[in-house]
Structure 1
Amino acid sequence: MTPPPRSARHPVRIVHLGLGAFHRAHQAWYTQRANERGGQGGNGGQGDGWGIAAFTGRSPEAARVLATQDAVYTLIERGPASDTATIVDALSTVADGGDTERWRAAVADPAVAVVTLTVTEAGYRPSAEALDADRASLVAGEGASTAPGRLVDGLRARRAAGVAGVAVVSCDNLPGNGEVARDAVLGLAGQVDPGLADWIASEVSFVSSMVDRITPATTDADRAAAAALTGYDDAAPVVTEPFSEWVLSGAFPAGRPDWEAVGAQFVDDIEPYERRKLWLLNAGHSLLAYRGLLRGHQTIAEAMADDDIAADLERLWAEARTELPFDDETLDAATAALRDRFGNARIEHTLAQIASDGSQKLGPRILDPLRSRLAAGRAPGEAQATALAAWALHLLGPDVRDPGAAALAETLRATPDDDAALAAGVLTALAPDLARESAVTDLIQNRIAQLRTGAITEPPLPTGAH
């Protein structure tokens, strides 16, 4: 068989950093559909479409595989009963993000109006050592390895080329992700070249966006399914759920695709939408991941089928509802949709994947709504404490994928049987402002003890699940 065919190659007007499955299931898919509608004129665009030059974030592997099939891939929407397939050719080119010259040329291209990012929450907060290395490299006129460093490098090339006007659109699960990106870029740019920082502040907009579409890692079975559905041999298909949502807030000085024509929303205040998603979907994912792994489950659907965990999820949602500025009808619809999405057993979203980088994720997902409850005079949430307790026990296991929690995990493993020390350690690391709140620490300690008891009665964990 042959690879999926390209029907069009649109001129590159978008540069993307973080060429992973989620980008291809979300921003690239929205751009594909906007191109198909042909409605690019209303937002400063042009009639021949918007192509994407996509760069990898860490490993170059995704670009290597996609390049062998001209950056065209199959998107499989996996519903509860059946699959549908779409050939996507919105990516005009793909490249290794470490290719400094190609990255600079792409961002400096006068035709480029938008730079999008999917670099995970951790990507916005590199280690001090990594930022120091990037600063020294950029001062020397060389490239960068972190996401903020690459943006500074690309924008420096754009300024040197005399090109103005670009929007940087963050598409990761962080509150105010556009502001977070802006602060990271300006902070580093100011250390490299204060004049560059001033130029970025005046010429570059940083757009916040709320993104939502469950996209599990692709398997060999998915590659076989893509071939069966399309008749093409695709080494890099993407599997995702039918549901999608994209809410954006910010300016686009050089135009953009008509994403709203295919379902995206543009709003003045994105913060309520971010909170709704983070505190319902993402917080639910974290709870299911850490609770589920302790019980020996491997996927979201398996954890949802566990009555004890599902009850904890309902409690978590009830704890968050009081803190969200939406009416009951809106929240009932949101949680009903999440029950259906989480229960879709044909989407094998692994708990181990979701459990990674909890040190970056739990703050906005669990601790922020907990703080909101306390500020309103309400008790800390039992399910919120359960998520933190399950994470503490997760850090004692051998399969911890969280560089940001390495020091904490080492500390906790020094006293693995001391529930009070585990509770205090988690709060001291993640929320020092709450570490002296006895109502919070006592509740987490209590939930750690209960989870230990529950884990003892469960069957042994399967290999690779912790």
Structure 2
Amino acid sequence: MSTPPKPLNRTTHPVTAPPVRLVHLGLGAFHRAHQVWYTQQADPGWGYASFTGRSARMSDLLSAQDGLFALVTRSGEGDTPEIVSTLVEAQPADNLARLVELVADPQVAVITCTVTEAGYHLTGAGELDTADPQVIADIAALRAGQPANLATAAGRIVAGLRARRAAGHGGLAVVSCDNIAANGETTRASVLGLAREVDFGLAEWIAAHVTFPSTSIDRITPATTDELIADVTAATGFADAAPVVTEPFASWVISGGFPAGRPAWENAGVEFVDDIDTFERRKLWLLNGSHSLMAYFGQLRGHDTVAGAIGDPVVRGRVEALWDEAAHHLAAPELKVPEYRASLLERFENPRIRHNLAQIAVDGGTKQRMRAVPILRAERAAGRDGEAAAFSIAAWIAYLLDTEQIADTRAGELDTARRADDPVPALISALDEELAADGAVVERIRGLVAEIRQPN
């Protein structure tokens, strides 16, 4: 008769809870596999209080476990589970009173967030969308006094910072960990924009005392499955209702100041740099760029996952060619491009991490603007043809032409373009109008689309 698993908590797994010095908005698997894990590795004297985005489901599960959870690092050699204890409080999104109390506490030094790009509520010009119903509601609630709940991340942060200022404490750092370019500037625009609508004096205090470091973050974190829960129980002896699975690779690059201090994240390999842009380009062009190429070309060749696609010599050759072109414009030695490429191949080949190409393919109309298009433009500006980047764009076009339903926030626009009399330039124009006006580029991509759709 087998021994039943023990419940997971700080009694059955004795570990002291560190003081809360970090607050997070957007409690999910990536946050736990990335920021919480990095903090435990680097400086376990710092504890996290993390708030869900909407549902209270995850905060309920983790609160029952005193914030403890198993993180399973999955590689071709097997699974390595560890119990992570740096998450001290798991709170539901609607517990605004606790969030405000924490941000007003001088011991709290950093707010991090993973709220997705839409969670910043900005216009295409990068300014707060004051016509958004949730933004309108939060502004009204904050102007009226201390609300019971707020809908936007910026509204919640502003409520906390207002209490911190009223308590006479100094500033802190607000750090976006979302996978978007210039995420520090994005967060600053969202928070300051909302603060200006509520209280201009508060906005001035935030501008003077609060910093918004920019980050480049990376770690694949697939969804938790029943199979993972069973595996964790077997490996650890604990009945963990909220484990997380991840890959061995992790990266976190940060640029910016921390006025109230921070964990010694560099002890766990976090890189602090002056120029985040070059590191972000490395990630967008090499990692994300090859992901998009594999998502479209790989699926057209019958593959479902990254591991399957990179195992196809034809796909791999196209990936390597794209990397060669991108590397022309990533020359700074600190980027360590050869080592980065080698690490990407190791990650892509990991058979235990199922990274679905269909998931990566979503929103290509926006993603390819930031991935293949800049490489092609840079190559053309350098006097080269940009064949590999053009192929990535052609693969996206071929995929759209052969797909019944477009999974994209720009689906209506892209569907109209693909139904045009001449869909190739129409779809190129949806990515970049200047490239669509370049006859040589259009004809080369047209030829590549035909080659992809009618292979030898």
Change (3 A) 1:197 1:318: same
Change (3 A) 1:200 1:374: farther
The Cα offsets for residues 422-461 of structure 1, whole Å up to 9 and x where unpaired, read as 5423533x4344442334433443333333335xx9xxxx
Residue in structure 1 matched with residue 74 of structure 2 by the alignment: 78
Which of 283, 301, 315 does residue 277 from structure 1 map onto?
A: 283
Is residue 186 of structure 1 aligned with residue 188 of structure 2? no
Instruction: Report the CA distance between 1:175 and its aligned residue.
Output: 3.0
Instruction: Report the CA distance between 1:31 and its aligned residue.
Output: 0.6
Residue in structure 1 matched with residue 316 of structure 2 by the alignment: 310
Partner Cα separation in structure 2 for residue 32 and residue 351 of structure 1 = 32
Instruction: Report the CA distance between 1:32 and its aligned residue.
Output: 0.9
Partner Cα separation in structure 2 for residue 189 and residue 449 of structure 1 = 52
Contact 2:103 2:164 in 1 (8 A): yes
Matches within 5 A, 1:55-204: 55-124=51-120, 126=122, 128=129, 131-141=132-142, 142=147, 143-204=149-210
Instruction: Report the CA distance between 1:264 and its aligned residue.
Output: 1.3
- State which drifts further: 200-209 or 135-144: 135-144
The Cα offsets for residues 63-119 of structure 1, whole Å up to 9 and x where unpaired, read as 233233222111111121111111001111112224433333333332211011223
Instruction: Report the CA distance between 1:202 and its aligned residue.
Output: 0.7
Residue in structure 2 matched with residue 39 of structure 1 by the alignment: none
Residue in structure 1 matched with residue 22 of structure 2 by the alignment: 14
Which of 3, 15, 39 does residue 7 from structure 2 map onto?
A: 3
Partner Cα separation in structure 2 for residue 448 and residue 210 of structure 1 = 33
Contact 2:138 2:155 in 1 (8 A): no
Matches within 5 A, 1:271-350: 271-327=277-333, 330-350=336-356
Partner Cα separation in structure 2 for residue 2 and residue 208 of structure 1 = 41
Change (3 A) 1:8 1:190: same
Change (3 A) 1:217 1:434: same
Partner Cα separation in structure 1 for residue 16 and residue 334 of structure 2 = 45
Contact 2:75 2:247 in 1 (8 A): yes
Is residue 236 of structure 1 aligned with residue 237 of structure 2? no
Partner Cα separation in structure 2 for residue 208 and residue 321 of structure 1 = 23
Contact 2:424 2:442 in 1 (8 A): no
Contact 1:177 1:209 in 2 (8 A): yes
Residue in structure 1 matched with residue 396 of structure 2 by the alignment: 391
Residue in structure 1 matched with residue 438 of structure 2 by the alignment: 437
Residue in structure 2 matched with residue 464 of structure 1 by the alignment: none
Instruction: Report the CA distance between 1:316 and its aligned residue.
Output: 1.1
- State which drifts further: 52-61 or 136-145: 136-145
Instruction: Report the CA distance between 1:305 and its aligned residue.
Output: 1.4
Give the superposed CA RMSD. 2.7
Unmatched segments (≥5 aa) in structure 2: 124-128
Contact 2:279 2:335 in 1 (8 A): no
Partner Cα separation in structure 1 for residue 162 and residue 366 of structure 2 = 29
Partner Cα separation in structure 2 for residue 59 and residue 386 of structure 1 = 41
- State which drifts further: 381-390 or 318-327: 381-390
The Cα offsets for residues 251-297 of structure 1, whole Å up to 9 and x where unpaired, read as 00001111111211212222222221221112111222222233332
Is residue 406 of structure 1 aligned with residue 411 of structure 2? yes
Contact 2:414 2:427 in 1 (8 A): no
Change (3 A) 1:145 1:423: farther
Residue in structure 2 matched with residue 451 of structure 1 by the alignment: 452
Contact 1:393 1:448 in 2 (8 A): yes
Contact 2:71 2:245 in 1 (8 A): yes
Partner Cα separation in structure 2 for residue 106 and residue 175 of structure 1 = 29
Partner Cα separation in structure 2 for residue 445 and residue 123 of structure 1 = 37
Which of 18, 29, 33 does residue 41 from structure 2 map onto?
A: 33
- What SS class does the counterpart of residue 235 from structure 1 fall into? coil
* Number of corresponding residues: 437
Change (3 A) 1:205 1:75: same
Contact 1:135 1:188 in 2 (8 A): no
Partner Cα separation in structure 2 for residue 329 and residue 409 of structure 1 = 35
- What SS class does the counterpart of residue 174 from structure 2 fall into? strand
- What SS class does the counterpart of residue 372 from structure 1 fall into? helix
Change (3 A) 1:8 1:290: farther
Contact 1:166 1:205 in 2 (8 A): yes
Partner Cα separation in structure 1 for residue 234 and residue 220 of structure 2 = 23
Instruction: Report the CA distance between 1:132 and its aligned residue.
Output: 4.7
Q: Which runs of 4+ in 1 moved over 6 A?
A: none
Change (3 A) 1:228 1:176: same
Contact 1:169 1:207 in 2 (8 A): yes
- State which drifts further: 431-440 or 125-134: 125-134
Residue in structure 2 matched with residue 41 of structure 1 by the alignment: none
Which of 359, 371, 386 does residue 353 from structure 1 map onto?
A: 359
Partner Cα separation in structure 2 for residue 400 and residue 222 of structure 1 = 31
Partner Cα separation in structure 1 for residue 438 and residue 399 of structure 2 = 23
Is residue 371 of structure 1 aligned with residue 377 of structure 2? yes
Partner Cα separation in structure 1 for residue 190 and residue 434 of structure 2 = 23
Change (3 A) 1:227 1:329: same
Change (3 A) 1:119 1:137: closer
Contact 1:135 1:149 in 2 (8 A): no
Residue in structure 1 matched with residue 232 of structure 2 by the alignment: 226
Partner Cα separation in structure 2 for residue 399 and residue 100 of structure 1 = 40
Partner Cα separation in structure 2 for residue 408 and residue 228 of structure 1 = 49
Q: Percent identity?
A: 50
- What SS class does the counterpart of residue 27 from structure 2 fall into? coil
Partner Cα separation in structure 1 for residue 312 and residue 109 of structure 2 = 47
TM-score, structure 1 normalization = 0.85
- What SS class does the counterpart of residue 371 from structure 2 fall into? helix
Instruction: Report the CA distance between 1:327 and its aligned residue.
Output: 4.7
Change (3 A) 1:382 1:267: same
Partner Cα separation in structure 2 for residue 12 and residue 65 of structure 1 = 19
